[in-house]
C-alpha cells in the first residue's frame, strides 16, 4: 500500500484529489508581510483576491515546502504502514524536491521497513497534477510502488505544457524564466508561448501577436502534442481568466472535434504568484518534450 503525494504547485482541486486519493504538501506565500498557506482550495483568500493583489501592484512571494511539512505529511502515512510516492514540482523551479530527499533519508532511518520514492516531475501546475492522476490510475490497476514510479520516470517528459502570460515580468521577477528570454515580454501586444523544457525550466520559445493569437497557438500546439490520443483529458489552468480558458477549449474542439474531455480550473497560489494574473496553461499527454532552452 502506498500514498501518492504532490505539493502546492500541482494545482489539483479537491474534487480531483479526492477522486484519485492524492494528498499534498503545502508551500506558503507572503503578501504585505503576512504569510499564508498555499492552499489549493483557497480557504484563507479567494483566487480572485490573490490575483487582484497582484493586479494592484502587490508583491507576492513564494516559499518551498518546509522540512517540517514534509515530515508531518510523510509521517502521517508511514505511521499507518503506508509507503509514499512523492511527485514533486520541477527541481528547476523549486527546491522542494531536494528538500524531500533530505527528509526521505531522515525518515527511512526511523522507518526501515517503509519505502519513500521522490520524483522530480520536470513540470509544474496541472501538468504535475496530471502525473499524479496517472500514478493513481496505475495504482488502482494493482501496480506496485516501484512499477508506478518507473512508469512516471519513463513518461514524465510526455506531459506537455503550453502556456501564455499577460507579461513575462512576473516570471522574470520570480526567477522562473531567464531575463534574456523575456526581452519581448514588454513589447506592445506580444504574448509569449511558454513550454516546460527537458530540464523542467519555463522556456518562452515562441511569441504571438496579441492574446487571441496566443490562445489559438496554444490550441494548435496542444493538439499537435497529443499525437492522435484525442480521448484523453485535456487540462486547462487559468489565473482568473475563465473566459479565455473556455475559448481555448472551444478552439481545440473546432480544430479537432474528437477532443471532448476537459478539466478547467484555477491555477494555484504558488504557480499563480510566479506567473501573474491572466496566465493560461494547457497540459496534454503525447509527444515527448525534446526542446532544451540552452540549445536554443
- Distances in Å between the Cα of 100 and the Cα atoms of 36, 48, 139, 271, 277 are 21, 31, 22, 19, 29
User: What digits encode the pLDDT tens for the residues 175-186?
Assistant: 545 544 544 445
Sheet holding 2-7, edge to edge: 22-25, 2-7, 83-88, 116-120
What's the pLDDT tens digit per position in 229-275?
A: 999 999 999 999 999 999 999 999 999 999 999 999 999 999 999 89
DSSP 79-134: TTT-EEEEEE--TTT-SHHHHHHHHHHHHHHH-TT--EEEEE-S--HHHHHHHHHH
Mind listing the pLDDT tens digit for each residue in 27-74? 999 999 999 999 999 999 999 999 999 999 999 999 999 999 999 999
> How high is the pLDDT of residue 174?
53
What's residue 137's pLDDT? 98
Is 159's pLDDT higher than 80?
yes
pLDDT of 287 over the 90 cut: yes
166 falls in which pLDDT band (50, 70, 90)? confident
Predicted confidence at residue 203, as pLDDT, reads 85
Alpha-carbon span 24 to 86, nearest angstrom: 9
pTM equals 0.94
Pair 31, 110: CB distance under 8 Å: no
At residue 292, φ and ψ (nearest 5 deg) are -125, 120
pLDDT, residue 167, reads 75
**Grid cell locating 204:** 518562452
Mean pLDDT (whole number) for 84-104: 97
Sign of CA dihedral 159, 126, 65, 58: positive
Q: What percent of the chain has pLDDT over 70?
A: 93
Q: How far is CA 32 from the centre of its chain?
A: 25
Q: Nearest Cα to 41, choosing from 55, 59, 23, 67? A: 23
Q: What is the DSSP-derived secondary structure letter of residue 22? A: E
**Model pLDDT for residues 119-147, shown as the tens digit of each residue:** 999 999 999 999 999 999 999 999 999 99
Amino acid at each position: 500500500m502506498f500514498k501518492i503525494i504532490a505539493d502546492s504547485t500541482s494545482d489539483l482541486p479537491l474534487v480531483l484529489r479526492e477522486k484519485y486519493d492524492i494528498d499534498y504538501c503545502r508551500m506558503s506565500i507572503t503578501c504585505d508581510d503576512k504569510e499564508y498557506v498555499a492552499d489549493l482550495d483557497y480557504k484563507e483568500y479567494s483566487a480572485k483576491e490573490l490575483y487582484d493583489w497582484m493586479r494592484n501592484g502587490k508583491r507576492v512571494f513564494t516559499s518551498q515546502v518546509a522540512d517540517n511539512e514534509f515530515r508531518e505529511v510523510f509521517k502521517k502515512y508511514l505511521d499507518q504502514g503506508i509507503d509514499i510516492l512523492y511527485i514533486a514540482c520541477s527541481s528547476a523551479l523549486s527546491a522542494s524536491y531536494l528538500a524531500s530527499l533530505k527528509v526521505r533519508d531522515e525518515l527511512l532511518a526511523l522507518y526501515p521497513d517503509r519505502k519513500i520514492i521522490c520524483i522530480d516531475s520536470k513540470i509544474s501546475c496541472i501538468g504535475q497534477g496530471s502525473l499524479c492522476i496517472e500514478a493513481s490510475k496505475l495504482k488502482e490497476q494493482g501496480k506496485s510502488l516501484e512499477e508506478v514510479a518507473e512508469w512516471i520516470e519513463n513518461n514524465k517528459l510526455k506531459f506537455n505544457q503550453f502556456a501564455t502570460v499577460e507579461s513575462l515580468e512576473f516570471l522574470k521577477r520570480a526567477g522562473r524564466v531567464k531575463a534574456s528570454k523575456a526581452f519581448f515580454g514588454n513589447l506592445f501586444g506580444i504574448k509569449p508561448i511558454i513550454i516546460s523544457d527537458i530540464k523542467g525550466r519555463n522556456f518562452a520559445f515562441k511569441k504571438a501577436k496579441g492574446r487571441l493569437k496566443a490562445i489559438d497557438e496554444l490550441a494548435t500546439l496542444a493538439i499537435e502534442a497529443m499525437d492522435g490520443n484525442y480521448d484523453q483529458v485535456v487540462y486547462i489552468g487559468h489565473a482568473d481568466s475563465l473566459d479565455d480558458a473556455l475559448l481555448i477549449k472551444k478552439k481545440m474542439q473546432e480544430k479537432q472535434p474528437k477532443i471532448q474531455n476537459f478539466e478547467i480550473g484555477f491555477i494555484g497560489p504558488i504557480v499563480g504568484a510566479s506567473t501573474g494574473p491572466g496566465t493560461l496553461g494547457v497540459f496534454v499527454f503525447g509527444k515527448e518534450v525534446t526542446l532544451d532552452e540552452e540549445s536554443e
